[in-house]
């Protein structure tokens, strides 16, 4: 069984790890949303960089079989589910806690499953980007390999520069 997980992964963090560990019965497809966005505070990393984060994290977590699909925005909620399905390997279920995702995928006949959100107050992209911007500790909120990758590409410094964009 394959399950689709949609996120922006700015960056991939331990909330995503929690989801992965609670979905071991599925082969996961990670759909990288807003794939064309990057170099802003909301979306600092390119789709390619986010692809590498996910890839590295799966290696760290010893997940063998998974898929990663960058998905550009089309700004049409009524067609988005089909747009994504067109770019992605086929899937049986969607994993999401987002009411909009639920609405537009259930309408297309997909089953949408919720996972509980884990430590949402800190395992959240926005929180992590803000901590980076404020020079607070953030490395413990993402997988080790992701923290290393972000530093390697100067991603922390990039976020500090783009805090107003």
| CB nearer a second copy, residue 22 or residue 39 | 39
Secondary structure of residue 32 in the 3-state scheme = strand
CA 130 vs. chain centroid, Å, equals 17
Q: How far apart are CA 110 and CA 30, in angstroms?
A: 16
Tell me if 3 sits within 8 A of 29, measured CB to CB. Answer: yes
- Among 30, 51, 105, 138, indicate the residue that binds a second copy (CB under 8 A): 51
- Residue 114 binds a second copy, judged by CB under 8 A: no
- Residue 55 binds a second copy, judged by CB under 8 A: yes
Question: What is the helix (H) or strand (E) element at residue 157, kind and residue range?
Answer: helix 155-161
- Residue 40 binds a second copy, judged by CB under 8 A: yes
Q: Which of residues 10-39 bind a second copy (CB under 8 A)?
A: 35-39
29: left (phi over 0), alpha (psi -120 to 50) or beta: beta
- Among 68, 95, 141, 142, indicate the residue that binds a second copy (CB under 8 A): 68
- Residue 135 binds a second copy, judged by CB under 8 A: no
Query: Residue 38 phi/psi, 5° resolution?
Result: -170, 170
Contact positions toward a second copy, by CB under 8 A?
A: 35-40, 46-48, 51-52, 55, 67-70, 72, 75-79, 82-83, 85-90, 99-100, 102-104, 158, 161-162, 164-165
């Amino acid at each position: 069984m394959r399950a689709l997980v949609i996120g922006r992964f700015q960056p991939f963090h331990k909330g995503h790890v929690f989801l992965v560990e609670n979905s071991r019965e599925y082969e996961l497809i990670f759909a990288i949303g807003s794939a064309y966005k990057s170099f802003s505070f909301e979306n600092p990393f390119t789709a390619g960089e986010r692809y590498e984060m996910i890839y590295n994290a799966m290696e760290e977590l010893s997940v063998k079989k998974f898929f990663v699909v960058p998905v550009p925005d089309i700004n049409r909620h009524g067609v988005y589910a089909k747009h994504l399905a067109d770019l992605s390997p086929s899937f049986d279920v969607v994993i999401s806690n987002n009411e909009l995702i639920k609405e537009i995928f259930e309408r297309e006949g997909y089953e949408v499953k919720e996972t509980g959100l884990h430590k949402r107050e800190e395992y959240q992209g926005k929180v992590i980007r803000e901590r980076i911007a404020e020079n607070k500790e953030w490395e413990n909120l993402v997988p080790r390999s992701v923290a290393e990758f972000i530093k390697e590409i100067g991603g922390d410094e990039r976020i500090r520069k783009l805090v107003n964009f």
